[in-house]
Chains A and B, each alone.
Chain A
């Protein structure tokens, strides 16, 4: 089936070249980081995780979109997703690969990565994160490829793949849960030390993932002239609406706990995020934008008429992505570290090389999505033409 990826229009090849150029620049920056160490980043003794780990956190969420179609389709026989499911599975593959790359570029000694396997340590959540991320990657490649191949041969998917599909449902939940546990189990980080971490990861994931999927589906409709199906997109839009409401609700719960209890160790992080502390206000503008975008998107999506208009739906999905990306990709990690254990306040803003490496990895992700979707849509077209 891969041969479908090497036959495309000029636009397809130009897009791939653009992505390759972005990847090349990112790779150059990574070579610099390998040579000079993480000193090229803006990370420091106090904020020791930053842009890279935040992207891991955000993208683990996006990878969930597949399961939001698997559940309705396989557990509730909701056939509308049949045409589009493969796109969700392939997007999960690309995002999990991005997640793993973000872990690797964050390591000080990437050549020793194998030590995690040589000395397995069940007490470490990072060990389990490696297990669930790789497992989810494997499951999605396997399920995506096998079901697509079966469809191409006009037969139903083989029986043995069913258990893997069912396993993939709790497994998708596990990648968010375990990633949330990276943070939620640390005794000295009050901002993260809350049972609502895993649920709020799930909620923002189930909003951001399907929102990105809807946008990419619209892009496919325009550029590849292939329609994933109106009903599928409408179902996804409903999922985004519910998940977005849950995500905003959980943020409200966290703010209430910190704000009403007024325990300084909890409250200071939220003050830092939304108002800034000691003059360090860089994040506050972004955080208000994030909250405003989230609330606006919810107000739009609550009305079925808005969801049914493609333009408005796309706009709301953009707002959802902006909201969740700022919350996970900028706020969550930095605010966990600031104020520091010594109650000091500082600003972390990613450095140039850090941003280029991040863009490079996003380039790799989009390259994988493009190629895999090209294959998936190619096969679908072939089936539908006959």
Chain B
């Protein structure tokens, strides 16, 4: 019994350590970019702007948000969702609809912050849009998950795969729905409102503040994920992931428990979608494709399914490689060796290679969940141990 509390205590201190680390990294990046960088010499500035540009760091936060959302579905409950991008897109369009001049025939303002001269359209307060974005994707989570989760889990993969294809296609072609322009087609919806947080206005290009905002959202998601995992619902998800039938025999209501995982994941995707739209100042249909779903899934798998900090690391590493790493490292290699290889164009080759290597040498992910590590590493010595145990009991 005392061992249990010691283990729990270590987990808590570990989490605290990680949390302190997260806050200090975010604070350092913010202070550096907001106050210090302009005073440093141009070489240092150039280094930061090319290797750790603030906009890509902010984008990393969005990926963390997304990956943690998907982690609740895939990592916690073990349901395979292949169309998570749909929630990202839906959340983004909620932001496009509710805080921009897009619906120009209307004029509605609810604590919003419309730009001068663009008072037409719908303008909600950003916090309300975040909540509504979550609600909207929750509804879609109910529509998709409700019927599908009654079936075997393989069907969820297929249905979500379709969902992830249909939603972006709808957005891409939604410029004329019975005469109404709903999504503005391939051009997307731009010119989102500036953010007004209790009198403090964050402009479209105020990157340090926007970075801080998405970091706070991602931090909240990390906290929420840990609390969920350690709670009663989290245990029920793990039980379903390990053995559905046994979980049902313990009294875990299967459908309701899976459904809650899928809906919470959906809400997280919606909130992340809104945050991303705010970050880039608009929402564009061609950004949402199947590859995005797969990248988020890779982040969850590579980071260590079910482990919150592992997924954070997975999302950070993969999205950094994607947005900066390939270009910068590629340039470095080209300049050093005088080659002319276009590294970013090999993005998926490198991605695929990384995935294969990980599955060969470190199946449990960068930072595996403790229970995964135990089982995956114990597989070899297991048989001998079992035999000796059996004889031990028998001789008792």
Asked if A and B bind, the verdict is no
Please give the residue numbers on chain B whose beta carbons come within 8 Å of chain A beta carbons, in ascending order. Answer: none
A interface residues (Cβ-Cβ under 8 A, vs B): none
